Structure 1
Amino acid sequence: MLGSELALNGMYGLAPDGHVPTEFLERVEVLKGPGALLNGMAPFGAVGGSINLVTKHASDAPITSVSTDYTSSSQFGTHIDVGRRGGDHNQFGVRYNGVYRSGGTALDEQWKVRGLNALALDFREERVRLSIDAYHSQEIFKNGSAFFASFTGIGAAAAPSASKNLFIGTNARFENAAVMARGELDIAENVTVFAGIGFLDSRNFGFTNGTQAPSVNLLGNFTGPRIVNLRGYTNTLSTQGGIRGQLDTGPLRHQFVLSASALKLSQSSEFGFSGSYRSNIYLPVVPPQAPPPAVVPNTAFNPSRPYFETDPRKTGENYLASLAFADTISAFDDRIQFIGGLRSQRVMTKTFQANTGLETNSYDSHRLSPAYALIVKPFDNRLSLYANYIEGLSQGLRVTNPLATNFNESFPPFVSKQIETGAKLDLGILANTLSFYEITQPTLSTVTSGGLISYKPVRQRNQGIEWNVFGEPIPGVRVLGGVTYMVGVITHSADGKTTGKNAFGIPRWQANFYGEWDLPYLVGVTVEGRVIYTSALYVDSLNYYRIPEWARFDAGARYTTKIYGTDMTLRANVNNLFNHSYWSGAFNDGFATLDAPRTVLLSATFNF
């Protein structure tokens, strides 16, 4: 998932691209249905919900935590977490998280370095709350990367060993730097105004674009160029503001929010290509290196800096603005709740040619999008019945495959819609949810003509049933999991070739179950396990290539104790316990992704 699809402390465009470091996060919030209206919609079309990352801030109790860890095959790391509050009534807070990790990975011959520095400052008084968050993260990959593959012939090739490295010699670096400031002021007993502003500078250098193995036959052979994203950047400015509050009108209680937000993104990517070469996913050769393109001077170019430190021309610019109002109306002691709201959205998109900087296309669209939800608790708070409808305008899709003839083409903004109904039963020790939903939205489908590849938008409908369970049915035993049955269908395509086909990347069945048990006869010891299952799915919109079902098992244990008055927690986890190699899903139309090999993780955490 792109970083711009994740909200950071309620604001989009500020989460890091690449792998999001979790060490500076307090929690991850998954908001479904109309919650997306109340908290803002993701820029690229996640109308059914949103994901919000909440950063760590200083708690009332002092925090000093040091962790050391090991990840197979030879990667070692350290994480420091320090938090303090000060002032005559603890109104000032500071929290720092620092991470450094380096060494070999489970992928053959790959070396990875990762660093993070994150600082959170806050001030809180009775009516005022202010915070500043800043972070810098960096990832360096040396000698290869995970890959994905497209297929040719009569079927999909069997997955190779998940530790196989097809792109030895590939080096890459990601850097993210962001700062954000947020504030809240209680202007009345039940009324609060809020505002926020943030900046992100994200850059990548030498990143191999997805490390594609194109047109793999049943024997694993493929021929093609090596594609390298030599350098690129994403710069964002994110702002928000609004007012929220609570008031009573007779027997009705209102919880309302009026909010405005704006997000400006500037992006660029510069690619290079090697000559065509032959290889095999089971017995790969070292690929040729792609030569860098000629440097095109621009306003940001500085000849005294190394090539990969210069800025390529801007290839895309997006501006998303919205104004929203929502009201949650409650009656009969919250036994009946109705959520209604409107969001006025504007999406402006511009695309530029990489080598000249000339504008190639642009869009400016506006829409008023509604959202509704009804929640009824017919007996008591243990059972809730609900239904909701939500729609939204999202930034148009963009072709990201450099091999496509219409690479970097942006399509007009689109409207996505979701309708959902369901129930939640909370028995105290165990909670269950059951939901039925339908989502309609566009995606990109591959069009091949005369050996040339291009991408065109198609309309897709996903209908599904989802059951989730979580809780502690027995003291010391905690469970979390769910099962989903979903049917994805292409309902409309311009040429009609994919209309009625199964949507690529959508399995009929998915199941995830996690459990942990505090061993009664070993005080402080907890064992845990997880199973993930995905049924067979098509990886292309024409339904030529189908990858088989798969299941993955993870296991782990942790031990909590004290050593000389210091809290210590030891953890041991193994992901992909049986080292099963399989295609795990689809990435864009026609490309299958390979799951990670067996990975061992060991750590020791000391809280002083």
Structure 2
Amino acid sequence: MIYPPRFLSKPLLLALCVSGTFSDAIAAATDQLPTISVVGSREKAFTTNAVQLGAFRDQTGLDTPLTVQVVTRELLDAQASTTLFDALKNTAGVSRAQIGGGVYDNLSIRGIGAENRANYRLNGALPVVNLIEMPLENKARVEALKGVSALYYGFVSPSGIVNMVTNRAGNTPVTSVEVRADHKGSRNIHGDLARRFGDRQQFGARFNLSAGEVALGAPGYEGERYFASAALDWRATDMLSFKLDLEQIKKDVPEPMAIVVPTAVNGRITLPSPPNPDLAYTNPDWQHTDARADHVLLRSDLRINDRWAATLEAGRAETKRERVSSQFQKYDLATGEGEMQAFLQYGQAYSNDNLRLELAGMVDTGPISHELTLGYTANKRFQAGPVGSSVTMGQNLYTPRAIAWRNVTAPTVFNPSTITDKGGYLLDRLRLPGDLQLLAGLRYSDYENRAVEGATGKVTTYSTNDVSSSLGLIWSVQPKLSLYTSYIEGLEEGGTAPGNAVNAGEILKPALSKQAEVGIKGDFANWQFAAAVFNIDRTQAYTNAQNVYALDGLARYRGVEASLAGEVLPRTALYATAMLLDAKQRQAADARQIGKRPENSSQKAVSLFIEHKLLAVTGLAINTGVYYTGNRAVNALNQAYIPGVTLLNAGASYRTKLMGNETTLRLNIENLANKRYWAATGKGTLGVSESRTVKLAMKTSF
């Protein structure tokens, strides 16, 4: 185990630290600073004024010519969100892929898989490794930048960027404790402490500490999680400031079995019935994933003068896992009897070392104002993904049984690889007469992939450089309404040829993606809306008729998205999104795939969350959420589809005072109808859903 002492000791420790000794120590250090009240406008319900992604950091949504959806802290709290998928289920077109959750959230955006080592960011900068559950306790918001994003982020999947923005110390001190539990046996306690201090309030510190037990209600599914973070900042002078973020995440839980898609018969696949989630998660007590992640991110901002500023960001994300996973295969559809193959993968290690230098400023040329951003970024990505041994044993899909451990001594073979992605970029935002903005950007990328075959020691190296571009046009029709169009190119890794190909082991050149988008955005008194039409052409690799693995494939993702958020009626706020997607294979080695839908892509998706604050009972609010995802193909030949599903959630919250302290009580019920469904598919597997979950929470601020 990589965990601190037993969970039962943690609530006492946290409560003492947050409400007593630790709080007193901070108060003493800050010379008993009084509470400072700031008078200003409050963010509207479920909406925000700015995004914190890429080259558009601190820009308003109206000035961002791409689809960006922001899930605010208020919305996260109302839904009792604890995972990334909990947050992003509110953004239509985001779905689970391959697995059904439990250990971490493998996500797909617009039918395209998000790369777990590159597409997830902390504070818009550091690429964290999404192979462990990303905590939300210390996050102010979760953002999804949909589509191609190479200008700022380099070699990434064209699915989009998922960004987590941390909470920091504000002018109002924070001391709070929250206790959460659900009827399946999960329980968690979380402490949040924030202060500003110094003679000019130049120092800020915010600490979060959380610990708990994880359960899904199924026999054998019990584990632990632990999380700690610090967000520190220092305004050294009026011109120079520093921010430091530290996170440590630990989670040790059984990993749910992946269900292998059956073999096609006469060109069709018959899928099994979704099993009972409260049984399907049954695992041997030895089948655990024991993971730890550490994140550190330092940012420094220097205001050179009134028109120019420089930013330096440097960070490291590191994840290590001791993993025993399994898949269920060769089973009888009627009886559920089959075999479970368990894979031992000890010593998994992943890291990202990231550096960014940026200079931003303004230059006027006659009536045209140029907002220039010139930057350099370098990311070194290492992974040691071992190929371990495996063991096969009998099991049943519908009535799982306990399985004893079998000793396996086969050695683990490591295949380490290092990817270096460096690049320089230039973005010019031209503010033109007539309320027009023209955005033009170029990125030069220098890429190298070095892989070592563990069994033979053979080293394979591939390097390349390329230039990608982006263009955008924004017309402010009114101060609160804008029209935009944009074009952006992206690069992602081309992949490595499989062992059965003629060019086995060859690392392909980067794959090019192109995206065009046209949209409208509005930001009014109490609500915001956006709508866009998009088209993504994505180059893909496959093994062609000559048995050569090559970048000859092409998939097209074309669709429409819309969103509406805010207080649409007095005391009633909503967050609604919808997407229609027409995704098709345009070129493929197998002619039967042409015209077919890419796997795990849904043609329709809708999310709707409504919260109403009752006038008759002060402090009481009720909410409901409806989430629909259409059917999704299990493979490129569309030989079967997991059915579409509509899920219903409900909840209530009550704000009051207990012993003079502000307290919020919450009740949330997820999957209210207790539906059984396939939550995900992709890469030849099916992910099991979760059953109805009743959550309770109490948060007290001191």
Could you tell me the TM-score, scaled by structure 1's length? 0.88
Tell whether the 8 Å contact from 1:487 to 1:506 is kept in structure 2 after alignment: no
Is the partner of 1:392 in helix, strand or coil? strand
Tell whether the 8 Å contact from 1:162 to 1:597 is kept in structure 2 after alignment: yes
The one-letter code matched in structure 2 to 1:193 is A
Return the offset for 1:489: 0.9
The one-character-per-residue Cα deviations of 1:31-63 (angstroms, maximum 9, x if unpaired) are: 3568x466x2264323x6422222222112211
Aligned partner of 1:160 in structure 2 is 275
Return the offset for 1:224: 5.6
The one-letter code matched in structure 2 to 1:245 is G
Could you tell me the TM-score, scaled by structure 2's length? 0.77
Is the partner of 1:218 in helix, strand or coil? coil
- Aligned partner of 2:361 among 223, 241, 245: 245
Aligned partner of 1:264 in structure 2 is 380
2:634 matched to 1:539?
Answer: yes
2:223 matched to 1:112?
Answer: yes
Distance 1:268 1:455 in 2: 25
Return the offset for 1:336: 1.2
- Aligned partner of 2:484 among 378, 386, 393: 386
Aligned partner of 1:236 in structure 2 is 352
Return the offset for 1:203: 0.2
Aligned partner of 1:558 in structure 2 is 653
- Aligned partner of 1:344 among 438, 444, 447: 444
Aligned 1:83-482 pairs, distance under 5 A: 83-124=194-235, 125-142=237-254, 144-145=255-256, 147-152=258-263, 153=265, 154-163=269-278, 164-169=280-285, 170-208=287-325, 211-216=326-331, 218-219=333-334, 220-223=336-339, 225-286=341-402, 289=405, 291-294=407-410, 313-332=414-433, 335-359=435-459, 361-378=460-477, 380-397=478-495, 411-443=508-540, 458-482=553-577
Return the offset for 1:532: 0.8
Aligned partner of 1:603 in structure 2 is 697
Is the partner of 2:609 in helix, strand or coil? strand
Return the offset for 1:231: 2.7
Tell whether the 8 Å contact from 2:126 to 2:315 is kept in structure 1 after alignment: no
Aligned partner of 1:573 in structure 2 is 668
Return the offset for 1:166: 4.8
Is the partner of 2:691 in helix, strand or coil? coil
Query: CA distance change for structure 1 residues 330 and 408 in 2, over 3 Å: closer, same or farther?
Result: same
Query: CA distance change for structure 1 residues 447 and 561 in 2, over 3 Å: closer, same or farther?
Result: farther
Distance 1:13 1:399 in 2: 26
The one-letter code matched in structure 2 to 1:238 is N
Return the offset for 1:458: 3.5
Aligned partner of 2:124 in structure 1 is 10
Tell whether the 8 Å contact from 2:328 to 2:341 is kept in structure 1 after alignment: no
The one-character-per-residue Cα deviations of 1:109-153 (angstroms, maximum 9, x if unpaired) are: 3012000111122101311110121121100014x5253431224
Distance 2:402 2:570 in 1: 54
Tell whether the 8 Å contact from 2:150 to 2:156 is kept in structure 1 after alignment: no
- Aligned partner of 1:54 among 138, 160, 165: 165
Return the offset for 1:289: 4.5
Distance 2:541 2:467 in 1: 25
Return the offset for 1:347: 1.9
Distance 1:364 1:73 in 2: 50
Query: CA distance change for structure 1 residues 55 and 42 in 2, over 3 Å: closer, same or farther?
Result: farther
Query: CA distance change for structure 1 residues 448 and 85 in 2, over 3 Å: closer, same or farther?
Result: farther
Distance 1:595 1:37 in 2: 33
Deviates more, 1:267-276 or 1:454-463: 454-463
Distance 1:197 1:283 in 2: 50
Question: Which runs of structure 1 show a deviation greater than 6 angstroms over 4 or more consecutive aligned residues?
Answer: 402-409, 444-449, 454-457
Distance 2:541 2:328 in 1: 20
The one-letter code matched in structure 2 to 1:383 is L
Aligned partner of 2:184 in structure 1 is 73
Query: CA distance change for structure 1 residues 74 and 278 in 2, over 3 Å: closer, same or farther?
Result: same
The one-letter code matched in structure 1 to 2:532 is S
Tell whether the 8 Å contact from 2:129 to 2:350 is kept in structure 1 after alignment: no
Distance 2:218 2:669 in 1: 15
Return the offset for 1:362: 2.8
Tell whether the 8 Å contact from 2:129 to 2:318 is kept in structure 1 after alignment: no
Distance 1:88 1:404 in 2: 67
Question: CA-atom RMSD, angstroms?
Answer: 3.0
The one-letter code matched in structure 2 to 1:237 is D
Distance 2:132 2:502 in 1: 26
The one-letter code matched in structure 2 to 1:159 is P
Distance 2:190 2:504 in 1: 41
Tell whether the 8 Å contact from 1:351 to 1:408 is kept in structure 2 after alignment: no
Distance 1:404 1:478 in 2: 55
- Aligned partner of 2:157 among 42, 45, 52: 45
Return the offset for 1:455: 11
Aligned partner of 1:525 in structure 2 is 620
Tell whether the 8 Å contact from 1:349 to 1:395 is kept in structure 2 after alignment: no
Tell whether the 8 Å contact from 1:477 to 1:515 is kept in structure 2 after alignment: yes
The one-character-per-residue Cα deviations of 1:253-306 (angstroms, maximum 9, x if unpaired) are: 22221111111011012233434434332123445646555557xxxxxxxxxx
The one-letter code matched in structure 1 to 2:442 is L
Distance 1:180 1:110 in 2: 34
Return the offset for 1:156: 1.4
Is the partner of 2:591 in helix, strand or coil? coil
Aligned 1:13-32 pairs, distance under 5 A: 13-14=127-128, 17-32=131-146
Is the partner of 1:73 in helix, strand or coil? coil
2:691 matched to 1:592?
Answer: no
Return the offset for 1:464: 0.6
Tell whether the 8 Å contact from 1:481 to 1:514 is kept in structure 2 after alignment: yes
The one-character-per-residue Cα deviations of 1:342-364 (angstroms, maximum 9, x if unpaired) are: 011122112222334432x3321
- Aligned partner of 2:584 among 484, 489, 492: 489
Aligned partner of 1:301 in structure 2 is none
Aligned partner of 2:8 in structure 1 is none
Aligned partner of 1:299 in structure 2 is none
The one-letter code matched in structure 1 to 2:145 is L
Query: CA distance change for structure 1 residues 573 and 327 in 2, over 3 Å: closer, same or farther?
Result: same
Distance 2:194 2:552 in 1: 48
Deviates more, 1:53-62 or 1:454-463: 454-463
Distance 1:161 1:456 in 2: 41
Aligned partner of 2:50 in structure 1 is none
Is the partner of 2:533 in helix, strand or coil? strand
Return the offset for 1:529: 1.1
Distance 1:499 1:141 in 2: 41
The one-letter code matched in structure 2 to 1:394 is E
Larger fraction in helix: 2
Distance 2:474 2:593 in 1: 38
Distance 1:457 1:137 in 2: 40
Query: Identity of aligned pairs, percent?
Result: 25
Distance 2:543 2:601 in 1: 16
Ranges in structure 2 where 5+ consecutive residues have no aligned partner = 1-105, 107-115
Tell whether the 8 Å contact from 1:272 to 1:291 is kept in structure 2 after alignment: no
Deviates more, 1:16-25 or 1:522-531: 16-25
Distance 2:697 2:504 in 1: 44
Return the offset for 1:500: 2.3
Aligned partner of 2:82 in structure 1 is none
- Greater relative contact order (Cα 8 A, min sep 6): structure 1 or 2? 2
